[in-house]
Amino acid sequence: MKLRNKLSIFIILTILFFGFLAVLFVYIETKSALLHQEENNLIALSSLKARGVNNIFDSGKNLVKIISKEDFILDYLKNDPVLGEEEVTRHLNHFNVSGLYSSIYIMSTSGITLVSTDPSFVGKDYSFRDYFKKSISGEPWVDAAVGITSKKVGYYFSHPILSKENEVIGAIIAKMSPGLVHDFFSSIDGDNTIKMITDSEGVVVFSNDNSRIYKSLYRLSKDSLDFLKDKRRYEGIGIYSLGYDDLNIKLASVEDSRLFNFFDKNTKEEKIITITHIDNLPFFVVTEFCISQFINKSNSVSFYIGLLVLMSAVVAIFLILYFLKRFLKPLDKLKDLALQVGQENFDNKLDIKTGDELEDLSKAFNYMSDKMKKSYKDLEKKIKKLKSFNSVMVGREIKIKELKDQLAKNKK
């Protein structure tokens, strides 16, 4: 096998071997980098959603805070009304300029609705609601629940109404329709990430996947179920688990954002979960991403990178073989010259201008050829002289023999 072929096979195998290692390394590193980026994107997305929802909630909190300080509210609760109930209701409606609130109402310290922009709320006892209990204790609050009167989910913003003596004399509540929050939460989709808003017990209040609404992240304890039942937060709705039990999530321990990896036994898939606390409110943003979707993306990216590496390797092989053939071409000339020298043809000379060892070798071959040519000429001269000398010697021997034969005859 020619040296060129041996080198070609060695180079091709070497390039293919290290090319395979390069593709494997690129795949592993690409997968790791993309997964890390995806995790960061999920945390960023979860944080973005949490900030946006919190900003919307801030508008609700500010609204009830402003209303709670209105003089007509204080006068009405002190039984010294300047305005009647109709006028109070009209004033409350004025605060619902954008129509974001399905109801704004005033509650007494006993939990009875006194005045409401939704007449069906008037006279109802909502003293069991957390937002009332928090407000009557002097603390503003935000809550989510399915209304027992309207049977519709809403976000409740409450604020204590304080007298001039700084005593709690009632509570003002605004029930925000979920549209604004949910529209914002459903925006910036464009991917297969499942996004959810949960309450403090882990029950999904809203999700871009409707099948998850009013499901709990994990199996609720008896105490949690009793708590929800007592608060009548989701009255008449069965709460079923989404199967995050193995994560052992404690929402109370999530202060900012946390990321979890887990295997979903129901779908038999690896998933990434992020949980972000919405400020200091009893709500959390949860995102769920299926790693198999990421792997498909990673494989696609790795395939194109691997294809690029493979194409580069093929081009490199052709270039190397081309230049190898070109660089080793003088070896054929050296071989031909050696054969000609072996046939005693010393007139051919090599003219190799490569500027490397092959050029030096060709000069050495030319020098050797010249030396051998001179040596052959000298040898031929010596052979010719030797032949001439031998012929003289043979002639003398013949002459001497003839003389000896003549002498022998004369003696007889």
pLDDT band at 175 (very low <50, low <70, confident <90, very high): very high
pLDDT band at 104 (very low <50, low <70, confident <90, very high): very high
Cα–Cα distances in Å, from 30 out to 19, 33, 288?
A: 16, 5, 22
Looking at domain 75-180, does it have CATH number 2.40.10.10? no
pTM listed for this prediction? 0.68
Cα angle 58-51-37, degrees, rounded to a multiple of 5: 175
pLDDT at 4: 65
pLDDT at 259: 86
- In the three-class reduction of DSSP (H, G, I as helix; E, B as strand; rest coil), residue 137 is classed as coil
Closest to 180 (Cα-Cα) out of 46, 47, 43, 59:
59
Architecture of the CATH domain 3-60+181-296: 2-Layer Sandwich (3.30)
With both helix axes pointing from N to C terminus, report the angle between 291-342 and 357-411 in degrees, rounded to the nearest 10.
Answer: 30
Residues 6+ positions from 289 with CB-CB distance below 8 Å:
38, 42, 192, 193, 194, 271, 272, 273
5 vs 129, more confident: 129
- In the three-class reduction of DSSP (H, G, I as helix; E, B as strand; rest coil), residue 198 is classed as strand
285/141 Cα distance (integer angstroms)? 18
pLDDT at 155: 93
